Structure 1
């Protein structure tokens, strides 16, 4: 149940590829303290509180915008202190999209190059009540049913991770980022200091189809330039 609503500033971009016009939604202020790292067997996400709130909000936008691509630029960000990507890894941008859009990731580089400055807009989002500890049992059981189609699929193209899913699975998992924002700072600051607070999209969750696991970790220590 939604407890209140928040305003999320975004920019709306439109560009054509042949006869088809695509709508791309970006945050008005892309997250600065956020990195998405391709570690081959899994994807690693490191965030501060503001970035976790923002991405959780954009996850909700993706649930309600089936005809749009939600683009979160972050591949140029500096990683937090003591977490520089190892050799052989690479940082990525993130695109969220509904499976019905049937957008080919191979065309993303061309579409991205055609995006202008966009038009500012404010999206009003419901903020769900905290659900730390997992989703309702009924939803979890349904996800493990063999005919479940509410799954995330991933593609990697042009230094961008594409998360493709249904409105239901985006809506049901946005809280994982919001939980990082709600509980991460207090957990890390509480004595004795424990700097690790995380959640993840795990293979056993019943939300991943053709997709690698995603580790999401709160980080409070970033360099002054990152």
Structure 2
């Protein structure tokens, strides 16, 4: 996979932050906070790009991976009718120890960025990362996602391993969703989930990820 991105740098006091964004807006992608869980609705292109950004987070421990989505239009079909708030998403390695309370200032100082294309050959393999599912449930497992919410942004903090092993959820949506929906008209919903039983969530809520091919704009 060749992933076009924009590299931004923002200074806050003595600290400089490297922020990576997709080169083009992911217009057909929304992340909705429903309090007890989160829903992500994606078309094929958005799912593929997010998979790439997820993999990039695994190998970029000094970067904040920012996916601006909170202003996007929702999909055309009905979504759960309980009130939810649309969010942006930031992916980051736990070793960065970034304080989410600084995000609004950092975000406000980002310029147009420098274009770059990232090569992600691992995205072309069916087994993006082989997970040891039994080890995930050991008490010693530290490869867990933790979430924070600040400035209309969900922060997903994790290790390189947990990002690498969970990118497949988005690849599955991109690869299988478009073929599934047309042949299942009575239930045209292809989805996957970052689930609490998977041994990947620490202080974090489940994220339901669904393919959507029809959008309001």
Q: TM-score w.r.t. structure 2 length?
A: 0.95
Equivalent residue in structure 2 for 1:117, among 112, 121, 127 = 112
Q: Distance in 1 between matches of 2:184 and 2:156?
A: 37
Query: What secondary structure does 2:112 align onto?
Result: coil
* Residue 214 (structure 2) pairs with residue 221 (structure 1): yes
In structure 2, distance between residues paired with 1:142 and 1:207: 11
Q: How does 1:12-31 map to 2 (within 5 A)?
A: 12-31=7-26
1:70 is aligned to 2:65: yes
Q: How much does 1:17 deviate?
A: 1.1
Alignment partner of 1:194 is 2:190: no
Whole-Å separation in 2 of the counterparts to 1:128 and 1:158: 35
* Partners of 1:173 and 1:111 in 2: CA distance: 27
Q: How does 1:62-101 map to 2 (within 5 A)?
A: 62-83=57-78, 86=81, 88-101=83-96
Q: Secondary structure at the match of 1:222?
A: coil
For the pair 1:103 / 2:101, whether they are aligned, the reply is: no
Counterparts of 1:62 and 1:185, CA distance in 2 = 26
Matched residue, 1:165: 158
CA contact (8 A) 1:47 1:219 kept: yes
Corresponding residue SS for 1:116: coil
Which structure: greater strand fraction? 1
Alignment partners' CA distance in 2, 1:191 and 1:36: 24
Give the aligned partner of residue 48 of structure 1: 43
Q: CA RMSD in A?
A: 1.6
Equivalent pair of 2:34/2:82 in contact (CA under 8 Å):
no
Q: Which runs of 5+ in 1 are unaligned?
A: 1-5
Q: 2:181, 2:188 within 8 Å by CA — same for their partners in 1?
A: yes
User: 2-side partners of 1:173 and 1:191: how far apart?
Assistant: 26
Q: Size of the alignment, in residue pairs? A: 216
Are residue 140 (structure 1) and residue 133 (structure 2) matched?
yes
Which whole-Å CA distance do the structure 1 matches of 2:145 and 2:194 have between them?
A: 10
Q: Report the Cα distance in structure 2 between the residues aligned to 1:72 and 1:14, rounded to whole angstroms.
A: 15
| C-alpha displacement of 1:222 | 1.2
Q: In the alignment, which residue of structure 2 is the partner of 1:182? A: 175
